[in-house]
Each structure stands twice: as structure tokens, then as C-alpha cells.
């Protein structure tokens, strides 16, 4: 698959996760939260979501979502399944950056996005010989890390 933006291969590293079974709405909220963040801070943030220490604020898909006490913002949740996939994607991208010879301490998330992937259609049997559609929606994730200029990591 192609990336949605071009990046300089000398200063960037990139990774994709294709057709993973997570919520598209949670993926969009995680991308909004992580975009532009330093790599280590982003990984710590995802670990806090997985451990249910700090909730993820929901800005767009926030209808009928409860507020989190002491979080300092309104609606929020702990999308653990999606956070695990994003953490794995960031680890993969960091490994690619290390292999390319980039300074992993000076990396930040230049681009991160989640797009809807393929829908696997299925059905669930019901009473009296009926069936209900039960589709499985997937998500494609892309991450581009860039090395900050002027930061030699010391």
C-alpha cells in the first residue's frame, strides 16, 4: 500500500499496519492525540491508556461517553485494544529508524493516520431461520517518524 504523504528517506522512518481488527473511531482519536508528539512521550501515553492510568480524551466521537473524574477534560475512554496496536506500530517504526541510522532519542511523530480498511462481511444466525449481517471492519494505520533538526541527542 502507498503512504498518504511523501517523506524524505534520509531523515524519516515509516511503518504501516494493514487491516487490523480495531475500532476505526478509536483509531482516529488515538491519532489525534499522538500527532506531533515525541516518540517516547507517545509510547508512555499509550502505556498509560493500556494500564488505565490516564484516559484518552474523545473530541470527535464523544456522543454518550461519560466524563472521567480527575482527568481535566470531558468525555474519555480507555481504548486498550487499539492502543496496543498503535504501540506495536510505533515500536516497528522505531526499529526501522534505528536500522536506518537515525537518532531514536530525537524522533517525533511527523505523520500518523488511520483509514478504514476492508470490511469482512459475515452473518450471525438468529431464531426461526433468520440471519443478521455481522460485518468486521478493519483499519489501516500509517506512521512516519522524523528526526528533529539540531538535536544531536546529548
- 116 inside domain: yes
Say if residue 153's pLDDT is above 60: no
Across the chain, mean pLDDT equals 93
- 7 inside domain: no
- 154 inside domain: no
* pTM listed for this prediction: 0.90
Which residue range(s) make up the domain with 110? Answer: 12-147
**CATH number, domain at 84?**
3.90.470.10
- 6 inside domain: no
State how many domains the chain has.
1
Q: What is the pLDDT of residue 56?
A: 95
- 3 inside domain: no
Label residue 52 left, alpha or beta by phi (over 0 means left) and psi (-120 to 50 means alpha): left
- 35 inside domain: yes
Q: What is the pLDDT of residue 35?
A: 96
Amino acid at each position: 500500500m502507498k503512504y498518504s504523504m511523501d517523506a524524505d528517506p534520509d531523515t524519516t522512518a515509516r511503518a504501516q499496519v494493514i487491516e487490523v481488527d480495531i475500532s476505526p473511531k478509536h483509531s482516529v482519536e488515538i491519532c489525534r492525540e499522538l500527532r506531533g508528539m515525541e516518540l517516547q512521550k507517545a509510547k508512555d501515553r499509550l502505556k498509560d491508556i493500556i494500564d488505565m492510568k490516564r484516559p484518552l480524551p474523545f473530541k470527535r466521537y464523544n456522543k454518550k461517553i461519560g466524563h472521567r473524574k480527575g482527568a481535566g477534560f470531558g468525555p474519555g475512554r480507555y481504548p486498550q485494544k487499539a492502543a496496543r496496536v498503535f504501540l506495536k506500530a510505533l515500536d516497528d517504526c522505531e526499529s526501522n529508524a534505528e536500522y536506518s541510522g537515525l537518532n531514536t532519542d530525537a524522533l517525533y511523530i511527523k505523520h500518523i493516520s488511520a483509514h478504514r480498511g476492508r470490511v469482512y462481511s459475515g452473518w450471525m444466525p438468529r431464531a426461526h431461520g433468520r440471519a443478521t449481517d455481522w460485518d468486521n471492519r478493519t483499519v489501516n494505520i500509517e506512521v512516519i517518524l522524523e528526526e528533529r533538526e539540531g538535536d544531536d541527542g546529548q
